[in-house]
Structure 1
Amino acid sequence: MEHQQGLWGKWRQFLLIFTPIVITQLTLFSMTFFDTTMSGHYSNQALAGVAIGSSLWSPINAGFSGLLMAVTPIISQLIGARKEADVKKTVHNGLYIALALALLLILANLFLVPVVLSHMAITDDVRTTARHFLTGISIGIPAFFLSAVLRAFIDSLGLTRVTMLITLTTVPMNILLNYLLIFGNWGFPELGGAGSGYATGITYWLVLIVTLVLIQTQSRIRRFRVLSRPAAFDRRPAREIIGIGVPNGLTILFETGIFSAVTILMGHFGTDTIAAHQSANSVCTLLYAFPLSIASTLTILIGYETGAGRLPDAKRYRHIGMLAAIAIGCVNGLILFLFRTPIAFLYTKDAGLADLITAFLMYAILFQFADAILSPVLGALRGYKDVKITSIVAFIAYWLIGLPLGYLLSLGSLGAFGYWIGLSTGLFTAAILLSFRVRVTEKRLVGNQ
C-alpha cells in the first residue's frame, strides 16, 4: 500500500484493495447461500431450521467479528504513522481477546441456546435442526475468531489478495462438506439441515490452517513476526481494541440482530414464510458483499492516510467509495428486479414458496440503495476511529424506529412484508444520520491538526 497523490492513482489503489475483498466476501457469503439452497432442496423444514439457527448465530458472529475488526484501523494507522514495531503487540492482544470471546460463545451454545429455542414458536423438527446446526458451528468457533484477527491484520497491510487466496482455497471444501453431510452422500451420515452447521465448523478450522501457512510463507507478512514468541498481554493495546471494537461490534450486532429478530417473528406466519424470508435474505446477504467490501476498503485506506496525517487524501477516498457504492447499489437493484423469479427457483422447486421468495425480493431492492449510502460512511468512520456514535445511531434507527414500524405494518394487509419495510426505514435512517456525522468528524480532525 502506497500513498497516491492523483485522483486516478487513488481510484487504482481503491480498486486494487477492493477487488480481492469483494471476491473474498462473495465467496464467504456463498457459504450461507449454499447452506440455504442445499438445505432447502433437502426439505422446507431443514431450510426453516437453518434459518432459525442462522438467525441466532449471525448477529453474535457479526457483532463479535465487528469487535475484532478494530484491529484493521489500528494497524492501518500504525503503518501510516510508521510505527510498525507496535503491530505484533496489537495482533497478539487481538488473538487473546478472540479466544476469550470463543470460550464465551461455546458456553452460551451449551447452556443458553437450548433455553432460547424451547421458547420459540417453531415445530419440534425445526427446533432440532436449529440446535444441531448451532452445535456443528460451535466446533469451529475458536478457529473462526482467531482467523478473523489474522485476516484483519493482513488486510490492514493492504494485502487483500492474500485473504482472497485463503477464502478461495477453503470455501469449495465447505460446499463439498455440505453435499456430504446434508444428503449423506459417499457413505457420510445424512444430517439434513444440521449438516451445513457441521460443514461450516470444519471449514473454519481449514481457514485457520491455511491462514497460518500463508502468514509464515509470505515475506511481506512474515516480517512482522506475528507467529513468533507470543507478546505478553498488554492492557493498552487491548483497551484500544475493545474501545474501538465494542461500539463497532454493537453497531453490526444491532443491524444483523434486527434481521434475526424479524426471522424469529416470522415464526408466527408459518414455516413457508420463514423459509421464503431466509431465502430472500440470503440473496441480500450475497449482494451486501459489495457495499461491505467498499466499507472495508475505506477503513484500510482512510486509516492509512489518517495515520500519516493526510486528511484531505482520506476524504477523497471517502468520496470515491461513495460513488462506487451508489453505482453498485443501482446495479444490484436492477438485478433483483429483472431476475427475481429465476433467483427464487434456485432455492426451491415449490412454486408457492418461490412466489413468496419473489415477493420478498421486490422489497429487498430498497436495501440496496440504503446500503449504498450507509456502508461507505460506516467504513470511513471506522478508518477515523470514530465509532462510538455509530452504535447509538444503529440502536435508535433499527430497534426504536425500524422494528416497531415493521411490527405495526405486519399487523395490517402487508403481513410479513411489513417487517421488510421497517428494516429499510431503519437502514435509511442510520444512513442519513451517519452521513452528517462523518462530515463533522472530518472537520474536527482538520481543526485538530
Structure 2
Amino acid sequence: MKTSFKKNSMILFVASILIILMLSTSSASEPTIEFTYVPPRCSTDLLQGEVKNVNPANYKVAVFIFIPCAPDAAGWWTKPYSNSPLTPISPDGKWACNITTGGIDETATWITAFLVPNGYIPPLCTQCSEIPPELYQYPYAQVKREMSRIITFSGYEWEVKSMCDIEIEVGPGPNYFSDGEEDVWVDENGRLHLKITKRNEKWYCTEVFTKASLGYGKYIFHVTGKVDQLDKNVVLGLFTWDDIASDHHYREIDIELSRWGEETNENNAQYVVQPWDDPGNTYRFHMDLKDEYSTHFFLWNRDTLYFQSLHGHPALPPAPEDIIESWIYHGNDIPPDGNENARINLWLFNGNCPSDGKDVEIIIKSFEFIPNCECDLNHDHNCDMQDWLMFGEDWGRTDCIPSDPCECDLNQDGSCDMQDWLLFGEDWGRTDCPVYPQS
C-alpha cells in the first residue's frame, strides 16, 4: 500500500497544482445570455436580459417558465405565447419578455432562457415535465425564484410555500396552502410550528423548504407532538424534493407519518423512495411513541439510503431501546443529488378535512444536516491519512468496474482522475462524516 502511495503521490501533487489553471481558463468569446432583471415571484413585471459575443440580429431568445404543484398547470411553459415562442433582441444586445401571459404564470418558480440562432424553431411546452433536451445545445441562463416569505429555522433559511394569494388547490392533496404568520412561525425557543387551519370554510395546509440545496448526507428531523396519533386524514412529510427533476422522480425521498385516511390502519408511518409503487420502494410500519418526542432521519449517498426513527431526541448513534424502526433500501431508484431541498409539510390526504373537524399543529424542535464525506473511504467518521493512502492505491486507473472497483473512483465514471481528486479534497480533515450501515 505504501509503495503504491509513494508511486502516485507526485502525480497527485502536480494534479492539485494544475487544477487551478484548468479551472481558471475560459473563452471570453463564447456567446452568452444572462438575466439583468428577474421579476419577483407573484409580480407581473417583464423578464429582462442581455446577450454578449454575438450579432443580436442573428439570434432570438426562447423563454420557458416552470409552474409548481398545480394539477392542471404544473410543468414548463413556453413564453410569451405558444404562437410567439421567440423573443427578439435589440441591437444593443438587450431583450425583454412577458412571462405572465395567462393562467397562474406569476407563481412560476423557475425561469430558463436560451440563446438560439435565427431559423431555429424551439419545441413548444404546454405543461412539459422537462424542457426538451435539444435546447441545451444552446447557451442558456436559468434562475429559481423564491417564495414571498422566508423564515430562519435551525440555522437555515426556509421558504414558505404559497401560490401568490391565488385561491387554488395544489399538490400534495390537492390542498390550499397558507404562508401566513398565524400558520407557519418560529417561536422564541427556535422551534418551527406548522398548522392545518380552517378559514372561510376552507382548510389550509403548510409547507416549508430550505433555500439551499443540501445534497448527499444525513437529514435529521427532531419532532415534538404525538405524531403516532395524527388524525386519519393528516400527513406529516419529512422529505427531499426537486421541482425540475422529473427524470429522477423529483429526487423525492420520504419519511411520512399518516394513516392515509384509514382509521384502523395499524401502519402509521412509512419510508419511501420514489416511485413509491415500484416493488420494494415503500416500507410501512407501526409507530407507538413513548412520549411526544421523536427523531426521524435518512442517510443518502449515491449508492446507499438508510432510514431510522427513534423515541425521543437522543444523541446519535442511539441506544437499541430508542430505535423504533430502521430500513436499508436495496432498490435501484436512489436518485443522484441535484437541486433538491429539505422539506417539511403538514397536509390533508386527498384534501379531506380532519375527521374531528379540529385544527392541527405540529412542532419541529430542530433540523440538522450532516453532509456526506467523499473522502471517508474506510468509514470511520474521519477524512485522514488512512483514507489518503486508500485513495492513492489505484490512482490513474481507467478500468474501474463494479466487479473490480477503485477506491479513488468517487464519481463512478470508471476512471481515477482529477474530478475524483477534487471530490476527495472537498471534505479533507472532517471528523463528523456520516457512516452508512453495511447491508
Measured against the shorter chain, the TM-score band is: under 0.3
TM-score (norm 2): 0.23
Q: Which has the higher contact order (CA 8 A, sep 6+)?
A: 1
Structure with greater strand percent:
2
TM-score, structure 1 as length reference: 0.23
Q: Which has the higher helix share?
A: 1
